[in-house]
A and B are shown apart, each in its own frame.
Chain A
Amino acid sequence: MKKILVCLKQVPHKDARLDVRSDGSWIQDDNIKFEINDYDTYALEEALRLKDQGEAEVVVATVGPERAAQALRTALGMGADRAIHIWDDALAETDGLGIAKALAAAAKDENFDIIFTGLMSDDANCAVTGPMLAELLGIPHITAVVKTEFKNGDVEVERELEGGALEVASLPQPCLLAVQTGINEVRYASLKGIMQAKKKPLDKKDLGELGLDAAAVAPKLTVEKIFVPPKGAGAEIIEGPADEVASKLVGKIKELGLF
């Protein structure tokens, strides 16, 4: 039986109002709705499709505070078999490497055949956790995956390149695939699935249980500040009679190579 890990992140809901905290450290997230990172839902769907095709166990894992359990329950409702919820106060300030270390510690004895992650997260946009996790586990990885085919222990993938080009690549298993959005049509959690999710195992792990400590996940990267760029900066207002404005605008668009 194949063992598949899907790493997912809970991020602010796409409809949530995002205000920057007064100290500029991050957004105000104490009173907003959260959801599973969009990229990660495609990763989960890809794993669930493998499960539908044959024997496979799908494990979902996340690093996040108490509220992140909801994301795991949703994934269990969609069809994942069990969940690992990693949290420790020391992880609150960590960076992508710290997250990858925590995930790697949880995954190392499980011997997963395939690990799926989303290409990046909707909130932080770093796109590092997947590749770092693969490196820490010593397995190959590939990013921006838009198609997968599993045969004879290998994985053949198509990945997205600049300008609409595709690249075909092959990896041995075990490996990590960081998935692009739109690769599949993500299923909805069924009513029955949601009701059953409560009975599926959800293991909580802190750093100690993973054999790590605060020093191991201390951030190497520090966020100085987050801010919304001032309105109007970088904008150019073209003035004059309509026909002149129009032709100048066309010139600008061509100059910028937008058309």
Chain B
Amino acid sequence: MIEWSEEQLAFQAAVRRFIEAEIVPNLEELEHGDTPPYEVLRKLYDTFGIAEMQRARFKSLMKQDGAEKAAAPTEEREGSGETLAMQLILTLELSRYCPGMVTAMGVSVGLTSAAILGRGTRAQKERWALPLLTFEKIGAWAITEPGSGSDAFGGMRASARRDGEGGYILNGNKTFITNGPFADTIVFICKLDDGSEPKDRKLLSFVLDRGTPGLTQSKPLRKMGLHSSPTGELHLQDVHASADQLLGESEDAYGRSGAKQTFGMERAGVVSMALGIVGRCLELCVEYAREREQFGRPIGEFQLIQLKLAKMEVARMNLQNLLFRQIELAQHSQRMSFAEASACKLYAAQTAMEVALEAVQLFGGNGYMAEYQVEQLCRDAKVLQIYGGTDEIQITQIARDLLSR
């Protein structure tokens, strides 16, 4: 893939028109007010018929479960590349103005539904994954705890005890949970407390509905950026879960590989977010460099400014190529290895941060003011180096993979 196709460009143009009409005028409220992002995201889903397409995709997924999937005809495989391209375009376009919205949407439609689709039984997929895919319901994927971030599994304290009647009693606290305050469907990851050593305990994953007795969803937490993505805490005190809420309905269904797969997907999405942020920063900077005059001429005539612009363009080209590679791989039913996805995420996150900081610098005093968009994009970019695995974790995983070959 060397260029967007005509259809992809048409979708991009339509999505941009929607964002400029429906989101940009309300950005202030979405970023700093009490309005959650879900209503406008649902409107976006309805407008472009995405919910309808997701429903069709779900149906075909249900049909070709298991072994048949590998033998899917070429057309369908190309279709999955096309679906990914459209998803990435949506992410890219939203990230130009509102990376927080991408996070809120991606965690619900992407991460949470993928966790259920990956490990759930057919009934669980129909009950919980489908309404998430269509954005009818909002999902949260709860893994991080106050005492465990990068060491998500080792430090995990959330627990499930068998209740002796086939069900479970869940306890624990989760934090930094995207959509936590508003989620209807929560995938709760915890360890089976069967009396064994904590490090030997099995990982289990439960699906919980909003309003379950014993489950408390906090108010949104205040954070540095991503203000349009509500982040919260979840507290579980003796929450009862029945066996059909255990993902896969088996204590052996979930493992680290399940969570790893989910991480892999999260990492791929960061490239398109970074490209959105970098592309927008570059656009704003070029415009500003043309118009802003100092010492009697536009600042774009100064070589130090030109250097910043040139580096931003290099970053944009690299990110675009990475994104095209992801799409092309999907078109051939392939995906990046975990280490490759980590490398992409590391590069994308660092690049977005560097470019956004340079954009603030290029805008000078204006760049530090909230009135100019680079200030928000700069705050938002930082999270890319932290969530979905910190830069440090990505580095370790890339190195470990290299050394194990």
Contacts and interface: CB of A to CB of B under 8 A. Distances in A.
Interface residues of B, number: 17
B298 to A, nearest CB: 13
A191 B55 CA distance: 14
A182 to B, nearest CB: 13
B17 to A, nearest CB: 6
Contact of B53 (A70, A191, A197): A191
A188 B48 contact: yes
Given A70-B6, A191-B86, A195-B7, A77 B49 contact: no
Q: Which of B17, B47, B49, B52 has the most CB of A within 10 A?
A: B49
B346 to A, nearest CB: 31
Contact of B7 (A35, A188, A198): A198
B7 A194 contact: yes
A191 B6 contact: no
Given A193-B49, A194-B11, A188 B6 contact: no
Contacts of A190: 47-49
A195 B9 CA distance: 11
B14 interface: yes
Nearest to B82: A195
Contacts of B49: 190-193
A188 B17 contact: yes
Interface in B62-100: 82, 86
B9 A188 contact: no
B133 to A, nearest CB: 14
A73 interface: yes
Contacts of B9: 70
A33 to B, nearest CB: 9
Interface in B27-54: 47-50, 52-53
A148 interface: no
Contact of A188 (B47, B52, B82): B47
A197 B13 contact: no
A234 B341 CA distance: 60
B10 interface: yes
A14 B69 CA distance: 45
A10 to B, nearest CB: 12
A189 interface: yes
B18 interface: yes
A189 B10 contact: yes
Contact of A74 (B10, B18, B82, B86): B10
Q: Which of A35, A77, A197 has the most CB of B within 10 A?
A: A77
Contact of A189 (B14, B50, B53): B14
Nearest to A196: B7
A188 B18 contact: yes
Contact of A77 (B10, B18, B50): B10
Contacts of B53: 191-192
Contacts of A194: 7, 10-11, 14
Nearest to A13: B13
Contacts of B50: 191
B353 to A, nearest CB: 26
A71 to B, nearest CB: 10
A191 B13 contact: no
Contacts of B10: 70, 73-74, 77, 189, 194, 197
A192 B52 CA distance: 9
A78 to B, nearest CB: 9
Contacts of A195: 7, 82
A188 B52 CA distance: 15
Interface in B150-192: none
Interface string B1-25: 0000011011101100110000000
Nearest to B48: A191
Q: Which of B48, B50, B82 has the most CB of A within 10 A?
A: B48
A129 B40 CA distance: 39
A40 to B, nearest CB: 15
A77 to B, nearest CB: 5
A192 B45 CA distance: 12
Interface in A73-122: 73-74, 77
A73 B13 CA distance: 12
Contacts of B11: 189, 191, 194
Q: Which of A188, A190, A191 has the most CB of B within 10 A?
A: A191
B58 to A, nearest CB: 15
A197 B52 contact: no
The 6 closest A-B pairs by CB, nearest first: A190-B49, A191-B48, A189-B14, A188-B14, A192-B49, A194-B10
Given A73-B6, A74-B14, A191-B50, 7 more contacts: A77-B14, A188-B17, A191-B48, A191-B86, A194-B7, A195-B7, A197-B10
Interface of A: 35, 70, 73-74, 77, 188-195, 197-198
17 contacts: A70-B6, A70-B9, A73-B6, A74-B10, A74-B13, A74-B14, A188-B17, A189-B10, A189-B11, A191-B48, A191-B49, A192-B49, A194-B10, A194-B11, A195-B7, A198-B6, A198-B7
